[in-house]
């Protein structure tokens, strides 16, 4: 073969995490991942050759698919850890005042850079992200994501009632802005748009109907919102939409419950709601640290026959770390008498999330043809974790030790399209980038 036509490759060596299903996660010892430098995709996975030297030698470390966070708010970066007596007071006292600042493009850009840094620091390579009601916030986040070649889902929040002046939408303009942002960003590089009503109480029927019309016009975009998170919130929805059977049924009436729709929290669903999610191939984004922090309630994992994933819900959530989300989900499930295995937890934080989003043809698994988005996990970064890892008798035990003891220090590298992802404060240095 003509060498000029042969792809240039970068090789990564280490133990490889295979997530085959929610019941089947296994670690393959000492594998080499070849990445096509031109396309940023995985070309080949193979055993190492005798005496082989590779560009990235991580023997003894774990190479795993990048985590996927299916529900997170980038403008809420600076309200993490803000105390309040529940969801609605927390929104009024902390979140809404902070989000009004995102009318300023410079502020939005600065926060977007730090927010993306935190995702990457914690091994998150893809996320479904809420911006604010300001188009400038979407522009800032999408530009920052594009500059780092990230696969992201994001959208402008729609809220045309029960909102402070700095966030209150003009109904028709909000819908025009949404369509314009779809045209500008959806499908550009690895970016996807999400039609994003904040939640039913902050949208008029006209705005929800308009969102449904846009969803029908653009069937391949995502839809995301909140549902059944908090009992006080549910009572509010019941008073505003008295003719609808349930909170989720409000969204169904407007054509928003569908494939590629992502519903945050889903704590207080009944059997008909769960069947509705399943029948429409919709997704519940479960946010365990947020639900605990705000005292909203405990998700019923034992009844979840529909698609579900794990998410941080920053800033109601208390940590960007998928390890922390997995641990909180495990604890909540145990309180409900249900057991989530390490395989199940890892699946719903990465490969299963990609499948639920319909992106598993490119993301979520380390396999030939997929984008080379993965993380290098080093169990030796924490002495107790290193001890537990060395003593573990099975792959399940090793994965669970990471869930319990892992954090951002455990993420040695986050790799995006085959390149080590630099943080914004490192962007001036080219030493952190491997050549394409």
Residue 436 lies in a domain: no
Does the pTM surpass 0.85? The reply is: yes
Q: Which helix (H) or strand (E) holds 356?
A: helix 351-356
Start-to-end CA span in the chain (Å): 21
* Contact (Cβ atoms closer than 8 angstroms) between residue 64 and residue 17: yes
Q: What is the CATH number of the domain that holds 15?
A: 2.30.40.10
CA–CA gap between residue 261 and residue 195 (Å, rounded): 9
Number of structural domains (the chain) is 2
Query: Tell me, what's the pLDDT at 431?
Result: 33
Residue 363 lies in a domain: no
Residue 435 lies in a domain: no
Whether 98 and 55 share a structural domain: no
Q: What is the CATH number of the domain that holds 155?
A: 3.20.20.140
* Contact (Cβ atoms closer than 8 angstroms) between residue 230 and residue 247: no
Whether 125 and 172 share a structural domain: yes
What tokens does 350 get? 């990465």
Residue 319 lies in a domain: yes
State the residue range of the domain holding 392.
3-66+372-426
Whether 26 and 99 share a structural domain: no
Per-residue pLDDT of the chain (436 residues; tens, 9 = 90+): 444 556 799 999 999 999 999 999 999 999 999 999 999 999 999 999 999 999 999 999 999 999 999 999 999 999 999 888 888 888 889 999 999 999 999 999 999 999 999 999 999 999 999 999 999 999 999 999 999 999 999 999 999 999 999 999 999 999 999 999 999 999 999 999 999 999 999 999 999 999 999 999 999 999 999 999 999 999 999 999 999 999 999 999 999 999 999 999 999 999 999 999 999 999 999 999 999 999 999 999 999 999 999 999 999 999 999 999 999 999 999 999 999 999 999 999 999 999 999 999 999 999 999 999 999 999 999 999 999 999 999 999 999 999 999 999 999 999 999 999 988 865 433 333 333 2
Domain termination site, one of 309, 330, 356? 356
CA–CA gap between residue 16 and residue 62 (Å, rounded): 6
72 pairs with which residues across the strands? 129
Q: Tell me: cis bond preceding 315? Omega within 30 of 0 counts.
A: yes
Whether 270 and 386 share a structural domain: no
Residue 432 lies in a domain: no
């Amino acid at each position: 073969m003509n060498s000029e036509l042969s792809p240039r490759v970068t090789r990564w060596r280490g133990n490889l995490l295979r997530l085959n299903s929610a019941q089947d996660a296994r670690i393959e010892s000492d594998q080499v991942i070849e990445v096509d430098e031109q396309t940023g995709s995985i070309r080949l996975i193979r055993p190492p050759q005798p005496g082989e030297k590779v560009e990235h030698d991580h023997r003894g470390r774990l190479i795993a698919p990048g985590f996927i966070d299916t529900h997170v708010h980038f403008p809420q970066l600076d309200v993490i850890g803000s105390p309040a007596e529940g969801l609605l007071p927390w929104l009024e006292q902390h979140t809404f005042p902070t989000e009004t600042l995102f009318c300023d493009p410079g502020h939005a850009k600065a926060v977007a850079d730090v927010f993306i840094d935190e995702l990457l620091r914690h091994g998150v390579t893809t996320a479904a992200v809420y911006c604010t009601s300001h188009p400038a916030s979407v522009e800032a986040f999408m530009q920052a994501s594009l500059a780092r070649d990230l696969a992201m889902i994001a959208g402008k929040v729609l809220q045309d009632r029960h909102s402070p002046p700095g966030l209150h939408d003009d109904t028709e303009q909000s819908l025009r802005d949404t369509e314009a942002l779809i045209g500008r960003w959806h499908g550009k590089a690895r970016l996807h748009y999400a039609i994003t009503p904040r939640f039913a109480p902050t949208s008029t029927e006209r705005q929800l109907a308009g969102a449904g019309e846009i969803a029908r016009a653009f069937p391949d975009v995502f839809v995301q919102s909140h549902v059944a998170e908090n009992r006080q919130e549910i009572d509010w929805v019941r008073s505003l939409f008295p003719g609808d059977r349930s909170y989720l049924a409000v969204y169904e009436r407007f054509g928003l419950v569908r494939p590629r729709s992502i519903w945050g929290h889903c704590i207080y669903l009944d059997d008909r709601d769960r069947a509705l999610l399943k029948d429409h191939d919709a997704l519940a984004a479960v946010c365990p640290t947020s639900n605990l922090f705000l005292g909203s309630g405990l998700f019923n994992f034992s009844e979840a026959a529909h698609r579900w994933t794990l998410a941080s819900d920053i800033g109601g959530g208390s940590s960007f770390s998928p390890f922390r989300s997995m641990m909180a989900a495990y604890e909540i499930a145990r309180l409900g008498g249900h057991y989530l295995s390490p395989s199940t937890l890892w699946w719903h934080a990465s490969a299963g999330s990609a499948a639920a989003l319909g992106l598993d043809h490119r993301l979520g698994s380390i396999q030939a043809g997929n984008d080379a988005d993965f993380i290098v996990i080093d169990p030796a970064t924490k002495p107790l974790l290193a001890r537990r890892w060395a003593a573990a008798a099975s792959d399940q035990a090793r994965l669970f030790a990471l869930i319990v003891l892992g954090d951002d220090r455990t993420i040695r590298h986050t790799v995006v399209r085959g390149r080590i992802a630099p943080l914004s404060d490192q962007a001036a240095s080219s030493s952190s980038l491997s050549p394409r």
